[in-house]
Amino acid sequence: MTIGDDVSRKPQRRFGGFFLLLLLIAAGTGYWAWQRYAGFANTPLAGITADSSVVVEPGDSLPIVLRKLRDAGIETGESLQWRVLARQIQAAGKLQVGEYPLDPKTTPRELLVAMRDGKVIQRRFTIVEGWNIRELRAALARVTALKQETTQLDDAALMKALGHVGQHPEGRFLPETYLYTAGDSDRDVLQRAYAAMEQALAAAWAQRHKDSVLKTADEMLTLASIVEKETGIASERPQIAGLFERRLKLGMRLETDPTVIYGMGSGYGGNIRKADLRTDTPYNTYVRAGLPPTPIAMPGVDALEAVVNPAPGDALFFVAIGDGSGRHLFARTYAEHQANVGRYLKNYRAQQGAATTATEKQKQ
């Protein structure tokens, strides 16, 4: 090796060492950046309070969602990191509309995955068996998470908005629990409940027994609503349905208190007087024969099934036992019924006496 050769190779070695240093710096910078990014993606967002949420509305982009988070006091960090993360998990441009839950453990990755997959908050609204249309509408009006589109409509306008002009709303919404999400309205819930009742009623009508006295599905709905209001005891519903069918076949008046109460409307104060039983209204089945003109409540599936398959028997009368159980006494003749009424009064007075005694003891 000559001296000249040795001198000519020194700059190459210096250049190779410098290039290696650059590679090490780049690798270190990349590792640092990756660690920082990974830490961002998987670290819970600061500033989230318990039971909070964020709503993605139609047209919202990622920057708009980040602004909503910041407006809510949540620390979002750098927008670039969110864009990189959105691309990595294929959420860019794919944020689905809806309300998303936030809790103190929510990370950016978890939030974007939820928005990409549409894992929105689903809330529940339950229509209770036996509610009438006034109670249903009042309950819906109290749900602040629903857009209120029907509160200013009367019943006729409501049914028109639902696409059923001229139909009475009573009994037309199936008691069930319905899911809804951000952006849904009270009308949306009613549409689902109406469709569910239509389906349940059609299924029940198709299965009615061949000797049914009922002429239409609407009559079945009306009778089911009366059965619903007469008892909360599941095992008694077929018995009461059978009793009412026998009365209808014989041309006897139904003489059922819930129809009288419905006809009284806001005039009902908690008790039915003899004068109320004699007051003629379209719903007073003590003075008018046959079924009332519309249902008197929202019957559940069990009440519909009871009307489809009424229990056989010969009872034509029934009265509450009066012992607080909610059960009834059934009778074939009016004389037996009067004896049962006597038992009811005895039990009722005993119940009232026990309640009075308990109240007096509490005061002492």
pLDDT tens readout for residues 305-354: 999 999 999 999 999 998 888 899 999 999 999 999 999 999 888 887 76
Distance CA 218, CA 13 (A): 97
Clarify whether residues 304 and 196 are in a common domain.
no
Give the model's pLDDT for residue 252.
Answer: 97
Question: Comparing C-alpha atoms, which of 303, 288, 270, 248 is closest to residue 130?
Answer: 303
In a domain, 359, yes or no: yes
Clarify whether residues 68 and 164 are in a common domain.
no
Looking at per-residue pLDDT, the higher value among 49 and 18 belongs to 49
Clarify whether residues 70 and 132 are in a common domain.
no
At 1, the pLDDT band (50, 70, 90 cuts) reads very low
Q: Three-state DSSP class for 126?
A: strand
Q: Is the pLDDT of residue 363 over 80?
A: no
In a domain, 140, yes or no: yes
In a domain, 20, yes or no: no
Clarify whether residues 213 and 357 are in a common domain.
yes
Clarify whether residues 276 and 334 are in a common domain.
yes
Rounded mean pLDDT of the chain?
89
Clarify whether residues 171 and 86 are in a common domain.
no
Give the model's pLDDT for residue 135.
Answer: 97
Q: Is the pLDDT of residue 31 over 50?
A: no
Amino acid at 225: S
Distance CA 99, CA 75 (A): 19
- Of 143, 169, 201, the position where a domain reaches its end is 201
The conformation of residue 215, written as its DSSP 8-state character, comes to: -
In a domain, 11, yes or no: no
Clarify whether residues 91 and 136 are in a common domain.
no
Within 8 A by CB and 6+ apart from 357, the residues are none
Counting the structural domains of the chain, the total is 3
Q: Which residue has the tokens 């294929």?
A: 90
In a domain, 25, yes or no: no
Q: Is the pLDDT of residue 26 over 80?
A: no
Give the model's pLDDT for residue 50.
Answer: 86
Looking at per-residue pLDDT, the higher value among 50 and 125 belongs to 125
Clarify whether residues 106 and 129 are in a common domain.
no
- Of 201, 220, 239, the position where a domain reaches its end is 201
Clarify whether residues 111 and 253 are in a common domain.
no
Q: Which residue has the tokens 């993606």?
A: 41
Amino acid at 4: G
What's the mean pLDDT in 66-70? 95
In a domain, 197, yes or no: yes
In a domain, 1, yes or no: no
What's the mean pLDDT in 202-216? 93
Within 8 A by CB and 6+ apart from 132, the residues are 170, 262, 296, 297, 298
Give the model's pLDDT for residue 254.
Answer: 97
How much is the pTM?
0.81
Clarify whether residues 221 and 334 are in a common domain.
yes
Which CA distances in Å does 36 have to 33, 39, 45, 70? 5, 5, 14, 21
What are the tens digits of pLDDT across the range 282-311?
A: 999 999 999 999 999 999 999 999 999 999
Domain with 57 in it:
52-117
- Of 117, 138, 158, the position where a domain reaches its end is 117
At 2, the pLDDT band (50, 70, 90 cuts) reads very low
Clarify whether residues 238 and 305 are in a common domain.
yes
CATH classification of the domain holding 76? 3.30.1490
Q: Is the pLDDT of residue 108 over 70?
A: yes
In a domain, 158, yes or no: yes
What are the tens digits of pLDDT across the range 146-189?
A: 999 999 999 999 999 999 999 999 999 999 999 999 889 999 99
At 250, the pLDDT band (50, 70, 90 cuts) reads very high
Clarify whether residues 358 and 214 are in a common domain.
yes
On the CB side of 239, CA atoms within 13 Å amount to 18
Residue-by-residue DSSP string for 28-54: HHHHHHHHHHHHHHTSPPBTPPTTEEE
